[in-house]
Amino acid sequence: MSEVSWIAVDWGTTQLRVWALSAGGEVLQHAASARGMGSLAVDQFEGALLELIDGWLDAERVTEVVACGMVGARQGWREAPYAEVPCAPQAMARMIRPEVSDARMRVSIIPGLCQRTPADVLRGEETQISGLLSEWPDYHGLVCLPGTHSKWAEVRDGQVIGFQTFMTGELFALLSGQSVLRHGMRGDQPFDLPAFEVGLRAASERPLLGALFGLRAESLLEGLAPAAAWARLSGLLIGQELAGLPERWQGLSVCVIGDGQAAERYRHALATLNISAQTLGAEQVTLAGLAAAHQHIRGGF
């Protein structure tokens, strides 16, 4: 294969994903493991990384490894303190380098972003936003990043102006898997899009804490189908999220990052509110953002 020029790393709480890239930016190899930051002690990070990339390293030279995500959290490999918005998504000057014992690599960790009022933080998404700006340098609008904690960021003039985290995905997992609602719902059937839309509409009509138990009551009284209850819950929560976006963001363009089911649901939810959204693939923007950071490092960080 052609020579590995550098290695891109997306290291989240539950997953570690790595890519070997050529000098021309081509993906030569890809690997992943479940050794996320949440399962590692500080002295286990280098080993977890080498487990995946050892064969890509060259004994004759130092390969740059560029990482983003929770690996830079306080409980991660080494803390990369947040940069405060408004600022460019990747705070290159604050990138940090954990010590490594393997001389074949040099690792850089990209810091996350923080916001003082209202208090908020993110790690990993800054790199996806940077990747979006690599594609569209003049982008002005909102970036929607669905996930366990979905993030919405306002981007203008190459900077992140502000952002907002919603615990929508985590709440969905808790409510569908561990609350009393679990008795009346199933997620192993085809997604019930009409029920999702009913949930979306209900989100603006009824307060969330009251609407939730309604799903249980409809199961008991009207035999609401488990797959419909599942989709209704998803619609209720995503609908609440969209209804809770700050007013100053009304009317801005939206780009949803992601290629999976979650992103598809957000796009559908936005469309039902007559908000058209562009889309970029998550892996595509993550790699573009890591490449932007690598360019900077090569330029002499």
Q: Is 116 in the site for its own copies (CB under 8 A)?
A: yes
DSSP state of 36: -
Q: Is 212 in the site for its own copies (CB under 8 A)?
A: yes
Classify 33 in phi/psi space as left (phi over 0), alpha (psi -120 to 50) or beta. beta
Applying CB under 8 A, which part among 39-47, 101-109, 119-127, 185-193 lies near its own copies?
119-127
- Among residues 63 and 240, whose Cβ is nearest to its own copies? 240
Q: Is 163 in the site for its own copies (CB under 8 A)?
A: no
The one among 52, 144, 237, 288 contacting its own copies by CB under 8 A: 237
Please, which residues have CB within 8 angstroms of residue 243's CB and are 6 or more apart in sequence?
Answer: 203, 204
User: From residue 132, how far is each of 113, 114, 138, 170, 231 by CA, in Å?
Assistant: 16, 19, 10, 25, 30
The 3-state DSSP class for residue 87 equals strand
Beta carbon of residue 252, minimum distance to its own copies (angstroms, whole number): 17
The one among 217, 223, 248, 273 contacting its own copies by CB under 8 A: 217
DSSP 127-181: HHHHHHHHH-TT--EEEEE-SSSEEEEEEETTEEEEEEEE-HHHHHHHHHHHSGG
Give the span between the Cα atoms of 97 and 72, in whole angstroms.
10
Please, which residues have CB within 8 angstroms of residue 119's CB and are 6 or more apart in sequence?
Answer: none
Total residues in contact with its own copies, by rule CB under 8 A? 42
Q: Is 103 in the site for its own copies (CB under 8 A)?
A: no
Give the span between the Cα atoms of 70 and 172, in whole angstroms.
22
Q: Is 121 in the site for its own copies (CB under 8 A)?
A: yes
Cβ-based burial of 197 (10 A; exposed 0-12, middle 13-18, buried ≥19) = middle
Applying CB under 8 A, which part among 94-102, 216-224, 250-258, 284-292 lies near its own copies?
216-224
- Among residues 23 and 180, whose Cβ is nearest to its own copies? 180
Q: Is 118 in the site for its own copies (CB under 8 A)?
A: yes
Beta carbon of residue 256, minimum distance to its own copies (angstroms, whole number): 17
The one among 108, 127, 130, 164 contacting its own copies by CB under 8 A: 164
The one among 67, 80, 144, 175 contacting its own copies by CB under 8 A: 175
Sign, Cα dihedral of 48, 53, 55, 59: negative
Q: Is 240 in the site for its own copies (CB under 8 A)?
A: yes
Q: Is 204 in the site for its own copies (CB under 8 A)?
A: no
Q: x/- string (CB under 8 A) for its own copies, residues 34-53?
A: --------------------
The one among 174, 193, 271, 273 contacting its own copies by CB under 8 A: 174
The 3-state DSSP class for residue 255 equals strand
Chain length of the chain: 301
CB 266, CB 231: distance < 8 Å: no
Q: Is 1 in the site for its own copies (CB under 8 A)?
A: no
- Among residues 95 and 202, whose Cβ is nearest to its own copies? 202
Applying CB under 8 A, which part among 39-47, 128-136, 218-226, 261-269 lies near its own copies?
218-226
Binding site for its own copies (CB under 8 A): 74, 82, 114-116, 118-121, 149, 164-168, 170-171, 174-175, 178-180, 206-214, 216-218, 220-222, 237, 240-241, 243-244
